Amino acid sequence: MTRNISIKRVINILMNKDADETEDNKGRKVRKNEKREPMKPRTKNTELKELQDSELLYVPLSQHIGSPAIPVVEIGDYVKKYEKIGESSGVISANIHSPVSGDIADIVEHSLPNGNKVKTVIIANDFQNKQEKLVKRELNDLKLIKKEEIFSIIKEAGIVGLGGAQFPTHVKYDIKFRKVDTLIINGAECEPYLTSDYSVMKNHTKEIINGLKVIQKLLNPKEVVIGIEEENRELVEVVEEMGRKEKFQIKVKLLPTIYPQGSELQLINTVTGIKVRKGELPLEKGVVVSNVSTVKAIYDAFFEGKPLIERVVTISGEEARNIGNYRIKFGTPLYHIVKQLKITNEEKVIFGGPMMGIEVFDSRVPVIKGTSGILFLSTEEIERNNCISCGYCVEACPMNLMPFEFADYYEKGKYEKMVKANIQNCIECGACEFVCPSRVPLMESIKTGKAVLSEMGENR
C-alpha cells in the first residue's frame, strides 16, 4: 500500500486541522492525532501584552551568528537601560545593550537555549528604568543622511535577523556595489503555535512601512514585496492601506500556508520564482530577505534611537496558561515567565517552534534575540523503530533530499557519505521526522552528523 504525505498534510496535522491515523506501507495504523483546539488562532486574536520585568536578567554576549561581543562593563558597575554592555568584535558580530537599569551582579558562563555556554552579564534590576539619552529622528532626516550613517545606526543598535538566523543586519545590508532587484519582507510564520510576527504586523504596520523607507535608502531595491500567508490574508488590506497612506510602494504576496514556507530559500522561490541553492547567497540572485520584526527593530533604531533590547514572543502550548504574544526583554529567564504566567507544567519547554525549536532543561535559560516563541507542551512517550523504507521522509523534504540515508550513514559512522548525500543542503525543518511512522530520530542523525563533519573539517 502506498500513500502520499504532502508538506501541506504535515502542517495540517501540526495545526490540528487534520486528525486521523497514519498507516505504514503495510497498512498498519501507527500514529493517532487527537482532535485538539488549534493554538495558532488563539494567540493571533489576543492583544499584545507587556511582561513584568524580572529582578535578575541574564544577558548573553552572544545572541547572534559570529563572534561574541566583548564586555565593556565590570562587576559592580551601574548601567542604564539601553546602555551598551557588549561591544561587537570581528567582522561578523553584534552589540549587546542593557534591557533595564541596575547593577552588574556578575559576569559568568551561562547557558543559551541551545545549551551552549557563553559569557553572560547578570543585571540586578533596580526597577528605576533610568535610560541612556536617545537620539530621535524624523522622516525628513532620511533625505539628508548618508548611507554610512544608517549602517552605523543599525550596527550600534545591535540589530540581527529576528526570524531565527540572528545574522548581524549591518553585515547583511552591506551589499557593496551589487544591485538588489527584490527586497522580500518575511511575514510567513509557518511554524505551528507561533504568531509573534503576525502580532508585529498587526500592531506596528506603520512602523514597518517607515522602517522599510530606511532600508530602501540603503539597498535601493527595484521592488519591495512582503510575503503573508493565506491564513493571514486579513493583513493584506492593512499593509496596502498603510503603504498608500505613508506613500510607500509595497507589493503584498499571498503565500500558501505550507511548511516550511518561511524558510528563506522557499520564500524566495515562491515570491520570485528564483531558485537559490543552499550555500548560495540570495544577494547573488539580486534578492535580500528580512523578517518583519527586523524591519520594526530598524524603525526603532532610526526614528526612536532605541537599540534592540526586547522582542515580541509567543507564549503558547497545551500546558501553557495566559497564552498570547508578549513583549519580553532579552535576558528574561524562563523561571520568571513561568511564575508571571502561573504555568504549572514545565515538563517539555521549547524555545522556538515545535519543528525547529530547541527543548530547554534549565529554568534560568533567558530569552534572546532569536527567541520567537516559548512553548509548553504535553509530553509523549516515543517508541523508536527501524526504518521501514516507506519514503514518507523523502516526499516531505522541501529540499528534495533522502533523509533516511542520513540516518543509515550516521548509524554506521559513514559520515563522508552524508556529504555525498548533500547533508549540507538540509535546512533542519524537521518535516521528515514528523511524518516518519517509525519515529526514526532523523534530526538527531542530521544535526549530529553535521557537527561531526564540521569537526572533521576543522581537524584536517
**Known binding residues for [4Fe-4S] cluster:** 387, 390, 393, 397, 426, 429, 432, 436
Three-class DSSP labels, 24-44: CCCCCEEEECCCCCCCHHHHH
| Distance (Å, whole) CA 237 – CA 230 | 13
**Which helix (H) or strand (E) is 199 found in, with range?**
helix 196-203
Q: How far apart are CA 322 and CA 229, in angstroms?
A: 26
C-beta of residue 198 within 8 angstroms of C-beta of residue 361:
no
Please provide the size of the chain in residues: 460
Largest CA distance in the chain: 69
- C-alpha cell belonging to residue 121: 552579564
Strand spans (E) along 101-259: 102-111, 117-125, 182-187, 223-229, 251-255
Q: How far apart are alpha carbons 344 and 342 in whole angstroms?
A: 6
Closest CA to 121 of 140, 102, 142, 137: 102
Amino acid 32 reads K
Q: Are 369 and 408 in contact (CB under 8 A)?
A: no
List the one residue out of 68, 85, 356, 71 whose CA is nearest residue 194. 356
Partners of residue 21 on adjacent β-strands: 32
Please spell the DSSP secondary structure of 140-184, one letter per residue: THHHH--HHHHHHHHHHTT-B-TTTT--BHHHHT--TT---SEEE
Other CB atoms within 10 Å distance of the CB of residue 364: 15
CA-to-CA distance for 288 and 272, rounded, in angstroms? 12
Closest CA to 389 of 404, 410, 406: 404
Q: What is the DSSP pairing of strand 358-360 with strand 251-255?
A: unpaired
Residue 152 CA to residue 85 CA, distance in Å, equals: 17
Which residue in 373, 369, 374, 366 sits closest to 120, CA to CA? 366
Secondary structure element (H or E) that encloses residue 448, with its range: helix 442-458
* Residues in the annotated binding site: 387, 390, 393, 397, 426, 429, 432, 436
Q: How many helices (H) and strands (E) does the chain have?
A: 16, 19
